[in-house]
Amino acid sequence: MYKCALILAAGQGKRIKSDLPKVLHKVCGKEMVKHVIDSIRKSGIDDINVIIGKGAELVKERTADKNVSYSLQAEQLGTGHAVKCAEEFLRGKKGVVAVFTGDTPLIKQSTIERLFNDHIESKNSATILTAIVDDPTGYGRIVRENNEVSKIVEHKDCSEEELKISEMNSGIYCFDIELLLDALSKLTNNNEQGEYYLTDVIEILKAQNKKIGAVITDFEETIGVNSRVQLAQAEEILKDRINIMHMENGVTLIDPKTTYIGIDVEIGKDTIIYPNNILEGNTKIGSNCLLYQNSRISDSIIGDEVDIQSSVILNSNIGDNTTVGPFAYIRPETTIGKHARIGDFVEIKKSNIGDGTKVSHLTYIGDAEVGSECNFGCGTVIVNYDGKNKYKTIIGDHSFIGCNTNLVS
């Protein structure tokens, strides 16, 4: 059966109080809407349409990928109206469309698969992903009659009785494409917020005697991030998930609470990570490394058996058995060889440092090619800038540089 997905991402997100569109706020280093896209992808669906509106160009730029197309919702008149804006994408297609909101970054691949399978096997017209929660404040409630889902009521439109319902709408659904398109044309905005609600499609289908199903999952996975407080909650949940995954893969985290690992970071076995480390972007850490306290490593590749302490490493490569820090600053486009030593108060920028070279203290190296087995004395400065232009420096193998040396490029 043909499957595709829509992601609603046109709102500004008033409640997050930001100039940035809400779905571009990051959780564990990645935009919320990208988390959603990646989970959909992993579940085997690659025809994805994102509905954009507020900050459309920026959302498009940050989510651009093959098989991702866009529909524009110029005015945000509600989630139902948003789906309607994807009519052109859906028209003529037969099969199942899953609808996601761009603000549910914790949704798992396995749950998306379960939702699709249940929808198809039960021959439903619509299947809602729901969760049971003690405090469903702000979420739509799932109203059931004789245990069958009959409608979804938004928090603001709930009666006293409906407010007590603990089953919430995750905002994620599967629909039969043709039935959805037909129901969308029947939506009205006769509600507390004056919006066209996607959730009303359920009641419309029910009135046509169509089969509605629900798949219940953990509330944690369905958290919709509307505010900065919820953003922090999502961060904490995903951070725990990532940390547990690495520990299960054989990485020691001395204090998982203070270890911040981005979702795409890879770490080899038997590496030990001390508190207050931040690993970001497409970073790869080898095996048997020791990451002592307080480093930030971003978009970098670290070999095996590397020791790093209290340092910042950005977009660089560090070879096997090298030590870095404490207090080193490795700036972008730097490559450091194997068995090298980069010590305290050393800054290296856009340079290659050969195997076995020692830069032990108080040194600046910028725009340089440095050979192997060199030794830099304390207080060496490569003078790469004359106030107008930057110049390159080349230092051969086995060079010995005495302390307090300025090497004018």
Active site residues: 361
By CB under 5 A, name the one of 29, 224, 337, 356 that touches Ca ion.
Answer: 224
Q: Which residue from 279, 272, 288 is spatially nearest to 311, judged by alpha carbons?
A: 279
Shortest separation between residue 127's beta carbon and ligand UD1, angstroms: 15
Pairing of strands 252-253, 212-217: unpaired
384 binds ligand UD1 (CB under 6 A): no
- Taking the least distance from each CB to ligand UD1, the nearer of 76 and 233 is 76
What is the radius of gyration, based on Cα positions, of the chain? Answer: 27
Q: What are phi and psi of 209, to 5 degrees?
A: 60, 30
Stretch that binds ligand UD1, among 60-68, 72-80, 305-313, 384-392 (CB under 6 A): 72-80
Alpha helices in 64-191, H assignment, sequence order: 79-84, 87-90, 109-121, 160-163, 177-184
Alpha helices in 148-277, H assignment, sequence order: 160-163, 177-184, 200-207, 219-222, 228-248
- Taking the least distance from each CB to Ca ion, the nearer of 230 and 282 is 230
Residues 6+ apart with CB under 8 A from 22: 11, 12, 13, 16, 32, 102, 103, 225, 226
63 binds ligand UD1 (CB under 6 A): no
Q: What DSSP designation does 114 have?
A: H
Shortest separation between residue 365's beta carbon and ligand UD1, angstroms: 46
Is there a cis peptide before residue 332, judged by omega within 30 degrees of 0? no
- Contact code string over 146-185 relative to ligand UD1, x by CB under 6 A: ------x-x-------------xxxx--------------
By CB under 6 A, name the one of 45, 198, 215, 342 that touches ligand UD1.
Answer: 198
> Mapping DSSP to helix (H, G, I), strand (E, B) and coil, where does residue 30 land?
strand
By CB under 6 A, name the one of 29, 55, 78, 371 that touches ligand UD1.
Answer: 78
Residue 197 binding target from Ca ion, ligand UD1, none, CB below 5 to 8 Å by type: ligand UD1
By CB under 6 A, name the one of 70, 116, 139, 376 that touches ligand UD1.
Answer: 139
State which of positions 213-242 bind ligand UD1 (CB under 6 A): 224, 226
- Taking the least distance from each CB to Ca ion, the nearer of 11 and 366 is 11
51 binds ligand UD1 (CB under 6 A): yes
Shortest separation between residue 224's beta carbon and Ca ion, angstroms: 4
* Identity of residue 26: K
Please give the Cα distance from 115 to 301 (Å, whole number).
37
Q: Contact residues for Ca ion (CB under 5 A)?
A: 103, 224, 226
